[in-house]
Structures are given as structure tokens and as C-alpha cells.
Structure 1
Amino acid sequence: MNVLITGGAGFIGGNFVQYMVNNYPDYDIYNLDLLTYAGDLTKHKEIEDKENYHFIKADIADRENILTLFKEKKFDYVVHFAAESHVDRSITDSEIFIRSNVLGTQVLLDASKEINVKKFVHISTDEVYGELDFDPSTFFTEETPLQPNSPYSASKASSDLLVRAYHETYGLPINITRCSNNYGPYHFPEKLIPLTISRVLNDEKVPVYGDGKNIRDWLHVDDHCSAIDLVMHKGVDGEVYNVGGHNEKTNLEVVQTIIKTLDKSEDLIEFVKDRLGHDKRYAINPTKLENLGWQPKYDFDTGIEQTIQWYLDNKQWWEKIIDGEYRKYFEKHYEI
């Protein structure tokens, strides 16, 4: 069984690569990644010598190269993570998001159709649904209309619709998963949780957008990996599955939890100008996936403690990232 995982040097894709290599020794796992600014292969040192792990450096939007690769390797499954994913960067420059997230997906779909893959699993986001109000009884379901509010989420919604169209028009076997905010090991430091951990450990100010009351549902990356595994093997052809962690927290609550766990002062919190088009709340109803047989293992308290400990134990990984060009980006973006 040949499984292609695109974006396997990123955060969620990278964790899924390790999950698949370790749990399916009889599968050949191919990690395809362009190694852009958030791509990192050091996370795979423990598996890079395993016989069932293979790395391919390639651009998913390079049509000729991707078609040749698919014909050569004859992939059975494609699990597509590769995407530009940082909302703030999409607001500053959206062009690369369209190229990677829309055109890149189209190329992969064409290649998958060409070789008749058994299934194309497209990893999306709850952000394609837009925003919810603060009513705790409201949730995103798979039937919620797509109403993206940022260039990033618009590019992901576009790719979702392409995947659906290839199923309806060409009969390509597909599933789409839409997850809530992930956290866990190897999370790139520009995202809220790792950004907060790294800055608190260095006694630096932690930027919080607006009043910090925006709500997100948090999902541990290990739980997300098990969900994708289930959908890949047992998902009903053509169906969408929402993946949520049942862990709604305001951004401020998340920051305060990290500060308290690290025994630091909340004086480190600095409220900054709110992000353009900042969605109020995301919350997922994952009943459809739970009916398929999935349940998350982590509650937020357990997961965040484990994640903080991982960052304490792996300073050498994130300290290299936050030096140099990333620091320049951070200072320009947040103006602190």
C-alpha cells in the first residue's frame, strides 16, 4: 500500500506522517513537501531510517513533476495537508495561498484521477464555515454553509469545493475533514499556543488580539491523526467529517492557562490591535465522526500540560526557528 502525505514536513502533516509510519509498518509512506518557511524535517529523525518512510521534495503546483511522480509511484491513497495556513500572512499577501491551496489541490486531484487512487483525503479547516456567535448552543455541522472570512479560509473553501466537484463530476473517491484548532508537538511558533509558550519562557510580551474574547475549539494533534486514520480507512465515499475536540476556550483563557502553568505573571500579556476580519467563535459538532467510531483522548488541561512540557524538553527545536527572519516578521506584524 503506497500512501502519499502532502505537507508532511509541517505541523499536522508531520505528526500524521509519524503516526502512519509507526502504526502501519506494511504501508509505504511518502512524505511530499516543498520545505517552505514552516517546513521542517528534523521532526522525522526517529523515522527517517525506517524502510517504510520516504521523503520527496516537490511543489504540489508543479503539474508536470506531480503527474510523473504519481504515474511512477502508483499511490493508493493521497492524504492532502499541504497548504499555506497562517491567517495573518494571508491578510498581508494572499497570492501564495491561492497558488498552493487552490491550484496545488487541482494538480493533485488531476494526478489522482489519472492513476485512479483508492481515495483522496482532503484536510480542511472549520474556518471555511465563517464564524459563530457566542451562543454556546450553536455549532458547525457538515451541513453549515461555507462562508469564509479571510483569504486563507477562502482558499481552503475553494479547494474543498474542487475536491467535491472531482467526486461529483469524475467519480473520484474522496473524503474531506474539517478540523478545529490543533495544538501539540512541533507546532510552528507563529500560532497562538507555541507563540505564547516560547515568549513566556523568555519573559517576553505575549500579543493578544483585541480583547482576547475570541473563542476557538482546541483539538490535540494526536486526536486529529487518529480521526484522519479512521476516515481514510472507513469514511463513506464522498462524505465530509468534522473533527472537534470539545475544548472551547477564549484566546485570553489559553494564554492565561499557559502563563499560570509556567508560574509567570499575567503582566506579560499585551493587548494589540485586532486582526482584520477576526472571527468571533469556532465550535464543531463532531457527532458524525463519533458515529463512525472516533473519540478524542485528550481534554484541554491534559493536552496543554503535555504540550508545554514538550516545548520545555525541545527548546533546541523552536529556539532555532524564532531567531532570524521569523523574529523580524513577528516584530513587524505585532509592532511590539
Structure 2
Amino acid sequence: FCLLNPLNPYAATVAAAEFLVKSYGESFKLPYCIIRLCNVYGPRQHIEKVIPTFITNVLQGEKLKIHGDGKQIRHYLYVDDVINAIDIILNKGKPKMIYNIGTSNELNVLDIAKYILEKLHSNQQLDDITSYVKARSFTEKRYCTTTSGLIKSLGWKEQVTFD
């Protein structure tokens, strides 16, 4: 059991969606499970997300826009690991369960920017190419998903680290 405590409008809509799925499942005797994910990254990710945005900006010589101090911590899970987890849940999971799919890849925005500069062999210094803007009013300092024992018991394990 996990008590939901959404602290911003986006989190509230996600919590509402979970309750809607559960209520339909229970009301109409439909099988369901709920999968909670952390931030997913990988090929064909939406360009407005932090990783593809930073890569594009570095390659185009543009500044990296950092909201707040850049120390907001998030978990990042590679898309292939997510696909594998969902496949395992579909084939081995039990109905009416909640599966948390997390990772050990805990990074802040500045770590991601430094990593991208390093991987793209950029000789630019982070301080020279960052532009700090006001933090979003609803940004949490730390948002991470811990992998539940349920998904581990089905045999899932993260395969790709952020490195």
C-alpha cells in the first residue's frame, strides 16, 4: 500500500488516473494493474524533455536553460528496461497490483548537463553555457521512484545504467 500525496497539478492528475483505473476495474470486474514509472529516457524521447533538449542545445551551440539551481534530483530509467518491466508484468503480474518501476540512476539536472558535455566531447565549460531561470513554482527538489519488491519478485532487474 502506498499513500498518494500529490504536491502539484501534474501529480494530482496522475493520482486521479490511478483512482479512475482502480474504480473502473472494481466496478466492472475488469482486470487491471497500475505501473508507476520514473523518468524514462532513450531513443525517440520527446524533444522537450531535459536530456534531448540539452543534447540539441550543446550540438547547436545554444545555452542550457536550468530551472532553479539545477540540483533537483530525479531517477532516469532507460526505455528498454521499461519495456522489459511492462512485458514481465503483462505476462507474470497479478491483477489489482501496483508496480513501482524505479532505478538506481539518481541524478540532478547539473549532473545530466555535465554528463552530456563529457559524452559529446565538448570543450565548453558548464558555467559558460548555462542560463539559470526561475524555478517552476511546483518543482519538487527530489522526485524518485523506488522499485517495488513485487516487480523484483517477477524477475525484473534494471539492465542499463545511465553511464
1:106-121 to 2 correspondences below 5 Å: none
| Deviation string, structure 1 residues 72-119 (Cα, Å, up to 9, x no partner) | xxxxxxxxxxxxxxxxxxxxxxxxxxxxxxxxxxxxxxxxxxxxxxxx
Per the TM alignment, residue 189 of structure 1 is displaced from its structure 2 partner at its CA by 1.1
TM-score by length of 2: 0.93
Structure of higher RCO (CA pairs closer than 8 Å, 6+ residues apart): 2
Q: Say yes or no: does 1:273 pair with 2:134.
A: yes
User: Does 2:45 correspond to 1:187?
Assistant: yes
1:237 counterpart = 2:98: no
Give 5+ residue unaligned stretches, structure 2.
none
TM-superposition CA deviations, 1:267-310 (whole Å, max 9, x none): 11111110121011122221321111101110110xxxxxxxxx
State the identity as a percent: 39
Once the two structures are TM-superposed, the CA of residue 152 in structure 1 deviates from its matched residue by 2.1
Number of equivalences: 159
Return the letter of the residue paired with 1:295. K
Select the structure of larger CA radius of gyration: 1
Asked whether the equivalents of residues 220 and 245 of structure 1 are also in contact (C-alpha less than 8 Å), the reply is no
1:260, distance to aligned residue in structure 2 (A) = 1.7
**Partner Cα distance (2:40, 2:129) in 1:** 24
CA distance in 2, matches of 1:276, 1:186: 28
Of residues 59, 73, 81, the one that matches 1:223 is: 81
Q: What SS does the aligned partner of 2:142 have?
A: coil
* Distance in 2 between residues matched to 1:189 and 1:216, nearest whole Å: 18
Structure (1/2) with the larger helix percentage? 1
Structure 1, unaligned runs of 5 or more = 1-142, 302-336
Q: Following superposition of structure 1 onto structure 2, how do residues 256-267 of structure 1 map, counting pairs within 5 Å?
A: 256-264=114-122, 265=124, 266=126, 267=128
Q: CA deviation at 1:201?
A: 0.5
What's the counterpart of residue 295 of structure 1? 157
Q: Deviations over 1:149-187 (max 9, x none)?
A: 232222121111011112222221001100010100001
Q: Which consecutive aligned stretches of 4+ in structure 1 deviate over 6 angstroms post-superposition?
A: none
TM-score (norm 1): 0.46
The equivalent residue for 1:253 is 111
